[in-house]
Amino acid sequence: MSPDGNLEILMAAYQGGDFDAATMLIEQLSPQLHRFFVGQLASRKDADDLLQETWLLIHKVRHTYRAGEPVMPWFYGIARHVRVDHYRKTSRVALYEEQVEAPSELPAPMPETTSSTAEMAELLAPLPESQREVILMLKVEGMSLDEVARATSSTVGSVKQKAHRGYERLRERLTAMGLSQVRGGGLS
């Protein structure tokens, strides 16, 4: 059985109305999905909200999961959709607020994050969103190229290209920071 095999069985049971299976899915997948959101947003509060929105949407569209298909790309596809919607909504709100309010002289408070999460978010921050997303899914969540392609509605070739370009930018950034011996440390 594949590592996701148990998740696929739980998902099929959840589709059939077994809400104990839903509880088990939530317990098993919430930490991964939360890391995905924190890695993208660097805000635990927003990540908490997006995780809740994701599970609400999963519940609503659970009938769309096809039994026998890998379940992780399906979950990450929904999480990605929720994150993109959140980004669009906050961008519109921020633009509106910027137009309505005078700029504040006070600096924004720092988001609450763990040091490793904050460091990762800071390191990945200059990357374009698509590269950051692919690297997080591949390297942090351990998803396969095929799973990331499904989750992002891309081709495997596109995922490889985004990852490669992201790795190159990270290498350049690490070299500029004086950490040029990272080549063997997993950025290849």
Q: Is the four-CA dihedral 134, 108, 88, 91 of positive or negative sign? A: negative
pLDDT at 7: 92
Domains of the chain with bracketed CATH = 5-185 (1.20.140.160)
pLDDT, tens digit, for every residue of 2-48?
Answer: 445 699 999 999 999 999 999 999 999 999 999 888 887 657 888 89
Confidence band for 64, pLDDT divided at 50, 70 and 90: very high
pLDDT at 83: 87
Determine contact, residues 64/27, Cβ cutoff 8 Å: no
pLDDT, tens digit, for every residue of 106-143?
Answer: 444 444 445 666 777 777 888 888 888 888 888 888 88
Least confident of 63-67, 76-80, 99-103: 99-103
HSE (side-chain half, CA atoms, 13 Å) at 80: 21
Determine contact, residues 161/130, Cβ cutoff 8 Å: no
Q: Is the four-CA dihedral 76, 50, 112, 102 of positive or negative sign? A: positive
Residue at 7: amino acid letter: L
pLDDT, tens digit, for every residue of 67-95?
Answer: 888 999 999 999 998 988 887 877 666 55
Least confident of 22-26, 39-43, 62-66, 156-160: 39-43
Q: What is the DSSP string of 77-138?
A: HHHHHHHHHHHHHHHHHHHHHHHHSPPPSSPPPPP---HHHHHHHHHHTTS-HHHHHHHIII
Rounded Cα distance, 45 and 162, in Å: 28
Selected residue with higher pLDDT from 178 and 65: 65
Rounded Cα distance, 171 and 176, in Å: 8
* pTM > 0.75: no
Determine contact, residues 40/49, Cβ cutoff 8 Å: no
